[in-house]
């Protein structure tokens, strides 16, 4: 019995080497996120002036746009992970794709919710069938389908391969959806930061916005690493479980 547990112990080290270093570096990242988040709140609510026509509801913008940025970043990671997995069949690429997709769906949900709250106060309606809202909703559906496909197939190689295919097809589809829906309808405020004629935001608001953007990017990296660590632990549990079964037999 003792020998078996010693055996398991050494196997665990073999399964995920360097995980201690990794978890320490991610803890630092977590603290950095916390500090940056406090700085963002200060920048949004104290430093940046209150917008003249919209008033306080405009503050949603500082979190809404970085959330959308994170969502796109997440789905880009899903694409990279999917391509990497199909090329190499290595589990870590699949873990990247899956973890990023989950985070992306959460952030897209938050984008839709924060946008609705803003829309209710400014437009007077929770929802409008505007181009950007609609294409964000379609993107949300594509990646919800991705998660449903994964849960329908369980933790198998087949699930990883099917999901990778959807991760690629879905990402290629997002700009096409966006274009078709833009032709169909547009009501969303025009870009105030990534405007071809230069940002239309005043300097202090722009600074607050970029602080938030950096904060949310760091938050995304932190969450992604945490989620991938969970996936690695799950793999370890699976592996140890099958080892125990093999030992018992």
Partner 1 sequence: MGRQIGALLWKDLIVELRRREQVLSLAVFSLLVLLIFNFAFDLRRTDLAAAGPGILWVTFVFTAVLSLNRAFSVEQDRGTWEGLLLAPIDRGAIYLAKLAANLAFTLVVEVIAIAAFTTFFDLPSNVLQLIAAVLAGTLGFATVGTLFAAMAANTRAREVLLPILLLPVSVPVIIGSVKATAVAFEGVDASTGQYPWLGLVLAFDAIFLAVSFAVFEYVVED
Are the C-beta atoms of residues 159 and 153 closer than 8 Å to each other?
yes
* CA dist., res. 171 & res. 76, Å (int): 7
Instruction: Choose, by CB under 8 A, the member of 12, 161, 225, 232 that binds partner 1.
Output: 161
Site for partner 1 in 80-119 (CB under 8 A): 86
217: CB partners within 8 A, 6+ apart:
66, 69, 70, 73
Instruction: Choose, by CB under 8 A, the member of 80, 110, 122, 168 that binds partner 1.
Output: 168
Q: What minimum distance in Å lies between the beta carbon of 124 and partner 1?
A: 24
Binding pattern to partner 1, positions 7-46, x when CB under 8 A?
----------------------------------------
210 binds partner 1 (CB under 8 A): no
* CA dist., res. 59 & res. 191, Å (int): 16
Size of the site for partner 1 (CB under 8 A): 28
In terms of DSSP H, where are the helices of the chain? 2-15, 19-42, 60-88, 91-122, 131-153, 157-184, 203-248
Instruction: Choose, by CB under 8 A, the member of 73, 74, 105, 181 that binds partner 1.
Output: 181
- The residue among 211, 218, 232, 221 whose CA lies nearest residue 103 is 221
- Residues interacting with partner 1, by CB under 8 A? 86, 138, 141-142, 144-145, 148-149, 152-153, 158, 161-162, 164-166, 168-170, 172-173, 176-177, 179-181, 183-184
């Amino acid at each position: 019995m003792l020998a078996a547990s010693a055996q398991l112990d050494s196997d665990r080290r073999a399964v995920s080497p360097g995980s201690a270093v990794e978890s320490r570096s991610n803890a630092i990242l977590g603290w950095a996120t916390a500090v940056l988040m406090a700085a963002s709140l200060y920048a949004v609510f104290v430093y940046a002036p209150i917008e003249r026509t919209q008033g306080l509801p405009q503050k949603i913008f500082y979190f809404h746009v970085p959330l959308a940025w994170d969502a796109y970043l997440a789905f880009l990671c899903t694409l990279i992970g999917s391509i990497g997995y199909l090329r190499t069949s290595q589990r870590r690429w699949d873990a990247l794709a899956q973890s990023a997709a989950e985070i992306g769906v959460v952030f897209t949900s938050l984008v839709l919710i924060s946008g609705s709250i803003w829309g209710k106060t400014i437009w007077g309606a929770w929802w409008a069938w505007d181009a950007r809202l609609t294409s964000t909703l379609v993107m949300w559906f594509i990646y919800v389908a991705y998660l449903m496909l994964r849960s329908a197939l369980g933790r198998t190689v087949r699930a990883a391969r099917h999901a990778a295919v959807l991760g690629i097809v879905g990402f290629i589809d997002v700009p096409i959806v966006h274009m078709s829906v833009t032709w169909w309808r547009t009501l969303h405020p025009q870009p105030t930061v990534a405007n071809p004629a230069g940002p239309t935001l005043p300097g202090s608001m722009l600074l607050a916005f970029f602080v938030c953007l950096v904060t949310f990017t760091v938050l995304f990296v932190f969450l992604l690493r945490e989620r991938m660590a969970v996936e690695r632990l799950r793999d370890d549990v699976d592996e140890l479980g099958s080892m125990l079964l093999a030992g018992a037999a």
